[in-house]
Amino acid sequence: MATKLFIGSLAWATNDDSLKDFFAGVGTVVSASVIMDRETNRSKGFGFVEMSSDEEAKKAVEELNGKDLDGRAIVVSEARPREERPRGGGGYNGGGGDRY
């Protein structure tokens, strides 16, 4: 089963292809994606890589954490499951205590 890794501290210039190529040096990459801001279409500075096995994922963490990619020392760790967040929200009545 594939194991998903969190990749942090990415350079703005890093894209999906360069991320995939970088991780291909330690194993088979199932997918690689840099997370982009919807409004600016600019990298948010992090992404995810899915390796084909747990062993390859562990090897990637051991060998690539702290390594230089596009001029930045990247952070590589096993991704945590995505937390459910409330949809919508915001508005006047969101949060806070007594106002009067």
pLDDT band at residue 84 using 50, 70 and 90 as cut-offs: confident
pLDDT band at residue 82 using 50, 70 and 90 as cut-offs: confident
Task: Over range 76-85, report the average pLDDT.
Answer: 88
What per-residue confidence (pLDDT) applies to 52? 97
Count the neighbouring beta carbons within 10 Å of the beta carbon of residue 47. Answer: 21
What per-residue confidence (pLDDT) applies to 34? 98
Q: Is pLDDT above 60 for 74?
A: yes
What per-residue confidence (pLDDT) applies to 94? 54
Task: Over range 92-99, report the average pLDDT.
Answer: 56
3-73 sits in which CATH class? alpha beta
Residue 6 burial (10 A CB sphere; 0-12, 13-18, 19+): middle
Q: Domain map of the chain by residue range?
A: 3-73
